Amino acid sequence: MKVYVIIATYNGKKWIEECLTSVLFSSISITIILVDNFSNDDTVQLINLKFKKLIHLKKLILIEQKENLGFGKANNIGVSYALSKDADFVFLLNQDAYLQQDTISELIKVHKSNKDYGIISPIHLNGDGSRLDQNFSNYLKANNSIIFDVLQQNYGKTIYQVPFVNAAAWLLPRKTIEKIGGFDPIFLHYGEDDNYCQRILFHNLKIGVSPYAYVYHDRENSNKVKDKSEKEKLIFKERYYKYKWANINIEVKRDIKQHKNKLQKLILKLLIKFKFKEAIYYKKELSLINHILPEIFNSRRINSKKGKHYL
């Protein structure tokens, strides 16, 4: 059985040594593929220094990029490499996440009895393991039974079905990748895992969380809301529209038409009231929509078919 762990890094010096060490202590044989997105904080230098022997033995494959490709494209490079080496399983792991010794072996064990699951994730704890990762706990709210069982620390199942789990720690069987492909490149960073889960469900696979496997996600969760610049607002809007309208589980043409009409009416209303600054912003948003619609419809066309897309 060939298992490859894919880690996309960008300025991950703070976490990467602990991340890699946790993978190396796994209870099964694993090869690591690390794709670095042109880090400028000595991430690569640290890897070459601390893990030189593993690189020499080809247990750690370091693939350096000359630009920041984003999360999805970097992972696609790693997944494509793993497939070329006849990987049976690929495990996607964030640079700021750490495994327990039996995390991956437990997930593979669960998969063998639940082959209709395209993605299986461990429970995500915070960095020191004292509680659930904040964002992860929000994702679990779609399945009340797992929330209750987590709180009671009493699990009645080996896997709980959920509609979405973030890609910080995903076990992907080879058959999943051959059926779904890689991450859609219309997403640079954020939204790509939402889209992948949408595609999983469209192609009649399930998404699950195993309560007997754990990962520590060492990130800061903040509820602080800051005022966004106009550029930041438009970036957020682009991500949102792609997330919403590239979802192949729903028809979107009518919604798009209605939304564009609504924006056009709003722009006219603002102009009549001499609110030119706001009108200009919404005109930019409307232009953004028209600009991204061709790639959204192309994405829908590709992703509605089975295949190793984007790899």
- Kindly report, residue by residue over 7-54, the tens digit of the pLDDT: 999 999 999 999 999 999 999 999 999 999 999 999 999 999 999 999
State the residue range of the domain holding 100. 3-217
Q: 32: which strand partners?
A: 5, 60
Q: Based on the fold, state whether residues 143 and 255 are members of the same structural domain.
A: no
> pLDDT band for position 251 (50/70/90)?
very high
Q: Based on the fold, state whether residues 170 and 266 are members of the same structural domain.
A: no
> pLDDT band for position 225 (50/70/90)?
low
Q: Based on the fold, state whether residues 165 and 234 are members of the same structural domain.
A: no
Q: Based on the fold, state whether residues 20 and 107 are members of the same structural domain.
A: yes
**HSE on the CB side for 205, CA within 13 Å?**
24
Q: Based on the fold, state whether residues 28 and 149 are members of the same structural domain.
A: yes
Q: State the total domains in the chain.
A: 2
Determine the pLDDT at residue 223: 57
Q: Based on the fold, state whether residues 164 and 272 are members of the same structural domain.
A: no
Determine the pLDDT at residue 220: 72
Residue ending a domain, choose from 217, 248, 271? 217
Q: Based on the fold, state whether residues 131 and 267 are members of the same structural domain.
A: no
Token readout for 110 is 């669960």
Determine the pLDDT at residue 214: 96
Determine the pLDDT at residue 125: 95
> pLDDT band for position 155 (50/70/90)?
confident
Determine the pLDDT at residue 311: 98
Residue 311 domain-assigned (yes or no): no
Q: Based on the fold, state whether residues 168 and 78 are members of the same structural domain.
A: yes
Residue 222 domain-assigned (yes or no): no
Residue 156 domain-assigned (yes or no): yes
Residue ending a domain, choose from 217, 240, 270? 217
